[in-house]
Amino acid sequence: MDSSSDREFDELIKFKILLAKSGGFDVEHLMDIKPRSYSLHLYDDGDYSDQIILYAKFGIHRYNMVHGKNLQLSFVEKYNVHHRPFFSCYSITLVAKDLASGGSLVPFQTKFVEERYDMYKRLSCYIARPKFEPKQEEKSLNQESVDKEADFIIPEWPSENAFHDKSRYYLVKKLDLLNHDWIRLYMELAFLKKNTKIKKPKLSRLAIVKVAVETDENVERPNERLKARNATFYIKYKYRRNKGQASRVGKIKAAQALAGTGELLESYSNEY
């Protein structure tokens, strides 16, 4: 390498070291020294897309699921995104409400890696925690972890008759949907990521038609499949693009795996 290439390489290494020390969330002080070759973008204007809002809600859901809490999103403070050829990493700082303590505000951080495959996309939540809790070592996204997670494949959509097998599937009731609003979150995420050609989709026009849950875990009651740490959700929905148009029906498969490492991995496929 020539001297200029050496200098650029040294600047990149120094920047990555400083970025690692910051934890990847509070990066404002690093943006002025960011090398041009490093694709990191910071957004803190308060005008955030549905995608970022859903990611923030998803991070809170992951934390609630692991720790048995009841936090809800209050607002997103800022986020940054690092793009690579086959994945993007989102680091989101937000404020949550703790409903168990009278709605007290909780600064919160969550980090996602969005991997892109030909047939489906995988969303992996690597960090979901209150900002001022003791930090755990962050797992890096290396090729080994990508290969391991690539083995997590969601099954084909079963036949309608198969859903009547109560020993394998649980057909979610309306009351379940009210008590488990994260099912709609899965649907909105999958719909948004798959239907990118729809300009400014109205998520309020999405309606759940039917949901079935499948898991290999042993449960005493059928509805306990909703609490399984590893499960596949089959969601049939309808979406109306415009008020004057008829609704179109689609199908989504959302596979959830809560690994022993504490990661929540989500894989989505969609038929519309």
Residue pLDDT, tens place only, 126-157: 899 999 887 665 554 444 444 444 455 566 78
Which pLDDT score, from 0 to 100, does residue 121 have? 67
Higher pLDDT, 108 or 21: 108
pLDDT at residue 234 tops 80: yes
Which pLDDT score, from 0 to 100, does residue 10 have? 87
From CA 112, how far away is CA 27, in angstroms rounded? 16
pLDDT at residue 200 tops 90: no
Alpha-carbon dihedral angle through residues 186, 189, 69, 210, given to the nearest 10 degrees: -20
Q: Position of tokens 């009351």?
A: 175
pLDDT at residue 40 tops 80: yes
Q: Percent of the chain, pLDDT > 70?
A: 80
The arithmetic mean of pLDDT across residues 26-45, rounded, is 93
Torsion sign, CA atoms 104, 62, 172, 223: negative
Segment 205-233, tens digit of pLDDT: 899 999 999 888 888 888 888 887 778 88
Which pLDDT score, from 0 to 100, does residue 117 have? 64
**Residue at 139: amino acid letter:** K
The arithmetic mean of pLDDT across residues 184-188, rounded, is 89
Helix (H) or strand (E) holding 143: helix 143-150
> Could you please report the per-residue DSSP string of 150-183?
HT--PPPPPPTGGGG-TTTEEEPPHHHHHH-THH
Which of 65, 61, 54, 71 is CA-nearest to residue 228?
A: 65
Pairing of strands 121-130, 169-171: unpaired
pLDDT at residue 80 tops 90: yes
- Token pair of 159, please? 């036949």
pLDDT at residue 261 tops 50: no
Which pLDDT score, from 0 to 100, does residue 171 have? 93
Phi and psi for 256 in degrees, rounded to 5? Answer: -115, 130
The arithmetic mean of pLDDT across residues 11-21, rounded, is 91
pLDDT at residue 263 tops 50: no
Q: pTM for the whole thing?
A: 0.83
From CA 111, how far away is CA 167, in angstroms rounded? 36
CATH code that applies to domain 39-150? 3.10.450
pLDDT at residue 178 tops 70: yes
pLDDT at residue 116 tops 80: no
Higher pLDDT, 37 or 142: 37
From CA 58, how far away is CA 189, in angstroms rounded? 9
Highest mean pLDDT out of 102-111, 113-122, 226-235? 102-111
